[in-house]
Amino acid sequence: MFRFPHLALPALAVAAGLTALPALASSTGDEAGMITVTGQIAYRQRIALPPGNVATVTIQDVARADAKAPVIAETTVTDRQVPIPFEVQVAPEALEHPSRLALRATIHDAQGALLWTTDTHIPVDPGQPEIDLGMIELVQVAARTTAAEASYQCGDRTVSGRFEGDALTLTLDGTEYALVNVRSASGAKYETADGKVMFWEKGEDALLELDGTGLQDCTRIADTASRLTGAEWRVEDLNGAGVIDNAQTTLTFDADGSVYGSGGCNRYNGGFELDGDTLKIGPVAATQMACAEAVSNQEWTFFQLLDAPLTVSFSETGALILTADDGRAITARQ
């Protein structure tokens, strides 16, 4: 075993977020060699986007597996509802040879929190001048599964809820209340049959009304650790470029603070710290086996990501998404 010096982590966790980039595409599509990529982004759920939302579509060159994929074109659309049409233009001088292009799309709220994202590799053919990708489906970030439990801090009281289908069992001060989902313009709203108790969830926040006492602000108490630990996560995407099928890359987080797995060729182990949804991994030690060049490059990309503070989130389909502050990301599933 040996220790990778480049995997030492900084002492301070950095709050993750995507840095806004200026649009690199020209506003006209008739220039020689210009690649025009069009389509729409949407999702299946009937959930309205909050005011001030920002949809971002980027084109990245993912040809190199051993380096961060550069964004070569980008467009943003603000304050729209799905489906959101987009057009991104890639200037020929932005391309390297050979180029391997991929599209990524996200929707953030007005405060910059990631709400929706692509979770699969979406290739873009650089040899085609006009490309219509049609409808691109996004997945919700930090969404719960069909049946899940969550706790909320509502003032000085803690409220527990069990969500199952359209039903919510709310426990407050030892009393259980049966609520059902009702139509709302945004978020997920639940009420008792007599209308005396209302719980309106909007992302990590919620509103509670009990027996006409007025609305009370609630904040979800994160339980990231229990979702993260105890199972093997198999990496299915690195930086939007996919992964090599026969080079299985894995992560397993144990409740004792240890992390281990395979980088695709070499085995590794180390420690991790979780502070809310901020994850710090390292230092990490790994074996030193000879690997095929492509696998070695992918493994290097993976280990570089482990070296950065990561924000933990989960898609509605249960995928683990680890995002660095510069937008690099690992997507894995159990």
Domain boundaries, the chain: 2-141+225-333, 147-221
pLDDT single digits (tens) 295-319? 999 999 999 999 889 998 877 577 8
Is pTM beyond 0.85? Reply is no
Sign of the C-alpha dihedral computed for residues 327, 295, 98 and 102 taken in this order: negative
Of 7, 4, 8, nearest to 286 (Cα)? Answer: 4
pLDDT single digits (tens) 119-147? 778 899 988 999 999 999 998 875 444 45
**147-221 shares the fold of 2-141+225-333:** yes
Cα separation of 65 and 200, whole Å? 44
pLDDT single digits (tens) 175-189? 889 998 887 777 788
CATH superfamily, with its number, for domain 147-221: C-type lysozyme inhibitor (2.40.128.200)
Q: Vertex 298, ends 296 and 299: CA angle to 5°? A: 65
Q: How far is CA 210 from the centre of its chain?
A: 34
pLDDT higher for 56 or 27? 56
| Phi-psi region at 244: left, alpha or beta (left = phi > 0; alpha = psi -120 to 50) | beta
**Looking at residue 146, what is its pLDDT?**
42
Q: How high does pLDDT run on average in the chain?
A: 81
Contact 272, 281 (CB under 8 A): yes
CATH 3.40.50.1100 corresponds to the domain 2-141+225-333: no
Q: Report residue 324 as tokens.
A: 């660095």
**Looking at residue 68, what is its pLDDT?**
56
Cα separation of 283 and 179, whole Å? 47
Of the chain, the percentage scoring pLDDT greater than 90 comes to 31
